[in-house]
Amino acid sequence: MSLISPACRDALQHWLDSLSALAGRSENTLIAYRGDVVEFLLFMTLHHAERHGLKALERITVSDMRAWMADQRGADVSARSLARKLSAVKSFYRWLAEREGFEPTAVLSTRAPKFTKKLPRPLAEDAARAMIDTVELQSTSDWVAARDVAVVTLLYGCGLRISEALSLTGADAPLPATLRIVGKGDKERVVPVLPAAREAVDRYLKLCPHPQAQDRALFRGVRGGPLNPRAIQGVMAKARMQLGLPSTATPHAMRHSFATHLLSAGGDLRAIQELLGHASLSTTQTYTAVDTARLMEVYNRAHPKA
């Protein structure tokens, strides 16, 4: 950061503060944006062999943008990652141009590289059930095993993100028939809680040796602190090795499985969007592509004329 002028650093921080206050961006998103823009500013400083102030940023050209993108691709940055970085830079420039009153066309007109969007990688229904059963066998401690099963059941049964499941507190127990979840961008949604998920959490609470408090994390680590998501990632990694599942069988894959299995059973796309907390229906629509791909796979494998 020492190569970036104080004025640029201040502008960057003000932009991030505005995203936090007005747009409700998460802390992880802000950290990623900061890293992307700082990396861009450092490149421009070295590219022009001078420390960039705000006035220098106003003079960035199309040629400069091409040089930056070529540098990124030369460093083996994927097209997807570069598109994300460019999006952050454009967002910063759009805000800065309005604030400083300059024309940002050179930056905003830069086209993102094309890439194929990755489809979600859900588990098959029997594999999702086997994952929950196998997770329980990974710990010699009954309460830890019950805890891991409860978390993974919530991911699959309610379509929660791992961060959402681990943000539950003692005030949420015993789990009601519906949960009010605050997800990405502080978007609030209500999700139904299956009896199997409530029972799994109740069993964990009965076995957990750490006293519960309304303002403390519902799911605890071995020493009593809030459960780290890496613990669930680790136990699922062990389970998938035993089951012979691919590396894509992660906690987030259980959320993908929730959505895909609902859609396969005839679930309404709009309802699934609400259950997942997606801001845009286009995000949820990726699951229709997954379902179509699965149907074609079954067709090609089973139809006598395929």
Catalytic residue among 189, 238, 252, 294: 252
Does the annotation count 210 as an active-site position? no
Catalytic residue among 184, 203, 210, 238: 184
Structure-token pair, residue 52: 């960039």
Catalytic residue among 93, 156, 204, 287: 287
Structure-token pair, residue 14: 């003000």
Structure-token pair, residue 262: 């609902």
Neighbours of 36 (CB within 10 A): 20
| CA distance linking residue 213 with residue 200, whole number of Å | 19
Does the annotation count 25 as an active-site position? no
Does the annotation count 255 as an active-site position? yes
Catalytic residue among 161, 198, 240, 256: 161
Does the annotation count 184 as an active-site position? yes
Catalytic residue among 25, 240, 255, 256: 255
Does the annotation count 299 as an active-site position? no
Active site members:
161, 184, 252, 255, 278, 287
